[in-house]
Structure 1
Amino acid sequence: MASIYDRDYQEVIGLLKKARLEKGITQIELAKTLGKPQSFIAKFENGERRLDVVEFVRIARLLGVEPKSVLETIFDSNNSIH
């Protein structure tokens, strides 16, 4: 199982955070939309908490990011699946 320190995982989180910031959405706003506390957003963005696949898909879609494209970006840049 990959850890929160895995390069690919960090890239996924980085892309989600970048999308949030580019859209001008605060951690508080995203958290409210998800029905979660702001600390939930802070913890996964700072690597203190790991997202599961369902959380990842929901957050990506809320940010207007296609989950499949995020994964393709990572695997295409590595030219292999880990």
Structure 2
Amino acid sequence: MPKTIYKPEHAVLLILLKKHRKAAGLTQVQCSKALGRPQSFMSDVESGTRRLDIVQLRDLCKVLGIGLAELVEEFELSLLAEGSSAAHDPA
């Protein structure tokens, strides 16, 4: 099984995070600062070189002004819209 950062679903998540950061009017630097992280944090997240655990994702959602459940729902809908096999394969 490939690492999640190499799965197409991870790319979808990154697109959504970047979309919500921009919609919130935040730069990567501002977002990182709001999280109390170094400037490179959001750059690494959005480039896919840094993975987030569920607590970090929840904190990021708060900064972006979106609920975690809302993000997950949007993520699932995006996967369905793309016809991703992961949306149909829980493994």
Give the TM-score taking structure 1 as reference length: 0.83
Aligned sequence identity (%): 34
Q: Which has the larger radius of gyration?
A: 2
Aligned residues: 82
For 1:73, the equivalent position in structure 2 comes to 74
Residues 13 and 44 of structure 1 are in contact (CA less than 8 Å); yes or no, is this contact kept in structure 2? Answer: yes
Residues 75 and 81 of structure 1 are in contact (CA less than 8 Å); yes or no, is this contact kept in structure 2? Answer: no
Describe how 1:13-32 pairs up with structure 2 within 5 A: 13-32=14-33
C-alpha RMSD of matched pairs (Å): 1.8
The one-letter code matched in structure 1 to 2:35 is L
For 1:44, the equivalent position in structure 2 comes to 45
Moved over 3 A (4+): 79-82
Residues 19 and 63 of structure 1 are in contact (CA less than 8 Å); yes or no, is this contact kept in structure 2? Answer: yes
Give the TM-score taking structure 2 as reference length: 0.76
CA distance, structure 1, for counterparts of residue 41 and residue 89 of structure 2: 31
